[in-house]
Amino acid sequence: MAFSSIADRDRVESRPYETQDVPATIYRTLTRTKDRFPARPALSFQLLSDPHSRSCTLTWNELHERVTETANLFRDLGVGPGDTVAYLLPNCPEAAITLLAGATAGIVNPINPLLEAEHIAAILRETRAKVLVTLKAFPRTDVAQKAADAAALAPNVRTILQVDLNRYLGGPKKWLVPLVRPRVKVAHKAKVVDFEAAVSKHRHDALSFEDPEQDRVAAYFHTGGTTGTPKLAQHKASGMIYNGFLGGSLLFDENDVLMCPLPMFHVFAAYPILMSCVYSGAHLVMPTPAGYRGDGVFDNFWKLIERWRATFLITVPTAIAALMQRPVNADVSSLRTAISGSAPLPIELYNRFKAATGVEIAEGYGLTEATCLVSCNPVDGLKKVGSVGIPLPYTEVRILRRTPEGFHECGTDEIGEICVSNFGVFEGSIYTEADQNRDLFADGRFLRTGDLGRLDPDGYLWITGRAKDLIIRGGHNIDPAVIEEALTSHPAVAIAGAIGQPDAFAGELPCAYVELVGGASATVDDLLEHARAHITERAAMPKHVEILPELPKTAVGKVFKPELRKMAIKRVYDAALDGCGSHVTEVVDDKKRGLVAKLSRAPGCDEAAVTERLGSFTRPWDWAQDRT
């Protein structure tokens, strides 16, 4: 089962995919696993991070029953193959159940609870969701209020099903929650129903409707961070099953336990993890609703590994950096491999993790637009640290460079745009909005990822940067990874994010923001001296380095660079405006112009001087009071 070499990939790929005995639907995939391992654990969840706290475990038979009755409920609520069930949930069993049941009855649409209500509503309107599954009001979370506010702006939502997390508590806390449950202001007209009460009324031993084999769109996943209106990627059932097949063929079997503190609204958790478990029979563990963000999760993490005897850890570089600030204070001998994705892993962080745990990290690569998986380092074979491994079975990766005559295929170790074709790529129609699909494919079927990379002589894929993340200094392209890797090699640095700050002469100059290891100390001068010793490309030397208590991050642990860019714009423009009677009040994300600086205009402001001083910068600005 272990993925140890290119030969393993080729062994799986030696037969046509159609002859690999892959079930035709998600529900049939789940049913096959239920029939093979009915009494084995499928899904475990604990609401609190204490390794001795109450937990809930569903067997494969029980999970199958829950998915069946939930899919039947959705169909009774009017959800057909072309209708949408959205969910706005933290991690909990109901999130996984809704994902599988929603994709069986219709189209499922997971939504990030960290988005603002207006953005959530925009997604609900775009997908025309009929049903929204969300939380009942619960202490220390505003998800229920966000859902109510979003539903008021999305009249297409007819039914709201509420999940009460209190059922996962025990003892005095269970009795206390009803007394402190926050009140939700409601302005929508949707019918509000208790999730558990509603599903329990439906048949759990068989679907009440046909589960046809024809492939179709079964999920909408939004892309992007926590600002701006996200794009919606369409995923076919075949692509979701294909991701499960990859994990079940190369990585996991029924004896594995996957610790997954990543959110179930993101493709990394939904497909390479959940669908791989559904395909293989492996056991999925979700520690707390907020995963890595949960109270006490990092402090208790190694003890959670020991409690569940986890064999695989699913993680991201920022989480690894946080874990390395805590002692390994438990028996983690069950842990065989950590799989990291979402962002490149600095080699120093890899070395720290291996030294502390004895466990190696296998980096992988995927993206929402490809229904996730593209490549992975062999878990038991040659790992090239810093690479994202070899293309997975039935995946073709090309490194292309666009020329006036068309796309040119790059040679070995030549950097170009990573373009992908596999069963997860919905050719021609990635996004729900047709305009967003323009110029998205090369040679008709290769998805242009926007990531820059190269293939080495052994076929390993290396990501060298993001096309839109390039720092362009006077026409010189600078890869931010060069700066980030140099800074993270400093023992006091946990994580770094490099961006281009505005410059009146060069257009952009490189700058960097860093987060230090807990308890460590370093000055900006220390970091600059270290950078000078480790950055060989003179143009890439950062002109500004700033230490932050914590770098802004997305829900899945990526450094959130739009926020860093806003900070840099404000800092640079405020310096340029010194003495003009104006300053940057905020930097906003404009759909047409990108990031726009909003300026104060107090009495006595020298508007001519403002215009003159900012006239040489390429980043747009306008007056705060002119905002519409």
Residues 116 and 25 in one domain: yes
| Contacts for 435 with CB less than 8 Å, ≥ 6 apart | none
Yes or no: say if 223 and 370 are a contact pair by the CB < 8 Å rule. Answer: no
**pLDDT tens track for 21-49:** 999 999 999 999 999 999 999 999 999 99
Measured between alpha carbons, how far is 330 from 305 in angstroms, rounded to an integer?
8
Closest CA to 207 of 70, 35, 34, 33: 70
CATH number, domain with residue 522: 3.30.300.30
Give residue 591's pLDDT: 61
Residues 271 and 295 in one domain: yes
Average pLDDT over residues 579-589: 93
Measured between alpha carbons, how far is 391 from 10 in angstroms, rounded to an integer?
10
Q: H/E element holding 239?
A: helix 237-250
Tell me which amino acid residue 256 is.
D
Measured between alpha carbons, how far is 435 from 449 in angstroms, rounded to an integer?
17
Give residue 475's pLDDT: 62
Residues 161 and 187 in one domain: yes
The domain tally of the chain equals: 4
Categorize the per-residue pLDDT at 628 as very low, low, confident or very high, splitting at 50, 70 and 90: very low
Q: Is the predicted pLDDT of residue 317 greater than 90, yes or no?
A: no
Residues 384 and 404 in one domain: no
Kindly state whether residue 557 falls inside one of the protein's structural domains: yes
Give residue 8's pLDDT: 86
Beta bridge partners of 85: 108, 131
Q: Extract the tokens encoding 142.
A: 């505003």
Kindly state whether residue 41 falls inside one of the protein's structural domains: yes
Residues 319 and 342 in one domain: yes
Give residue 318's pLDDT: 80
Residues 476 and 356 in one domain: no
Q: Is the predicted pLDDT of residue 316 greater than 60, yes or no?
A: yes
Q: Which of 466, 494, 516 is the last residue of a domain?
A: 466
Residues 350 and 206 in one domain: yes
Residues 478 and 595 in one domain: no
Average model confidence (pLDDT) across the chain: 92
Question: Other CB atoms closer than 10 Å to residue 611's CB: what's the count?
Answer: 11
Residues 141 and 267 in one domain: yes
Closest CA to 304 of 274, 314, 59: 314
Burial class from Cβ neighbours inside 10 Å (0-12, 13-18, 19+) for residue 591 reads exposed
Tell me what percent of the residues of the chain surpass a pLDDT of 90: 76
Yes or no: say if 388 and 363 are a contact pair by the CB < 8 Å rule. Answer: yes
Tell me what percent of the residues of the chain surpass a pLDDT of 70: 96
Beta bridge partners of 447: 420, 441
Yes or no: say if 67 and 266 are a contact pair by the CB < 8 Å rule. Answer: no
Q: Is the predicted pLDDT of residue 227 greater than 50, yes or no?
A: no
Q: Is the predicted pLDDT of residue 181 greater than 70, yes or no?
A: yes
Give residue 226's pLDDT: 37
| Contacts for 47 with CB less than 8 Å, ≥ 6 apart | 53, 54, 165, 168, 169, 288, 289
Average pLDDT over residues 286-290: 96
Considering only residues 403 and 614, tell me which one the structure prediction assigns the higher pLDDT: 614
Q: Is the predicted pLDDT of residue 1 greater than 60, yes or no?
A: no
Local structure of 559: helix, strand or coil: strand
CATH number, domain with residue 385: 3.40.50.12780
Q: Which of 394, 424, 445 is the last residue of a domain?
A: 394
Question: Other CB atoms closer than 10 Å to residue 185's CB: what's the count?
Answer: 8
Give residue 467's pLDDT: 67
Q: What is the 3-state secondary structure (H, E, C) of 53-107?
A: CCCEEEEHHHHHHHHHHHHHHHHHCCCCCCCEEEEECCCCHHHHHHHHHHHHHCE
Kindly state whether residue 194 falls inside one of the protein's structural domains: yes
Residues 47 and 76 in one domain: yes
Measured between alpha carbons, how far is 276 from 281 in angstroms, rounded to an integer?
8
Residues 106 and 136 in one domain: yes
Beta bridge partners of 373: 366
Considering only residues 380 and 101, tell me which one the structure prediction assigns the higher pLDDT: 101
Categorize the per-residue pLDDT at 561 as very low, low, confident or very high, splitting at 50, 70 and 90: very high
Q: Are strands 232-236 and 217-222 parallel, antiparallel or unpaired?
A: antiparallel
Q: Which of 422, 448, 466 is the last residue of a domain?
A: 466
**What pTM, to 2 d.p., does this model score?**
0.84
Domain that holds residue 290: 6-394
Q: Is the predicted pLDDT of residue 206 greater than 70, yes or no?
A: yes
Strands annotated E in 476-623: 476-478, 493-503, 507-516, 544-548, 584-590, 594-599, 621-623
Question: Other CB atoms closer than 10 Å to residue 478's CB: what's the count?
Answer: 23
| Highest-scoring range by mean pLDDT, 93-107, 421-435, 450-464 | 93-107
Q: Is the predicted pLDDT of residue 160 greater than 80, yes or no?
A: yes
Kindly state whether residue 1 falls inside one of the protein's structural domains: no
Residues 356 and 239 in one domain: yes
Give residue 524's pLDDT: 97
Alpha-helical (H) ranges within 535-622 are 561-576, 607-614
Q: Extract the tokens encoding 492.
A: 């006091």
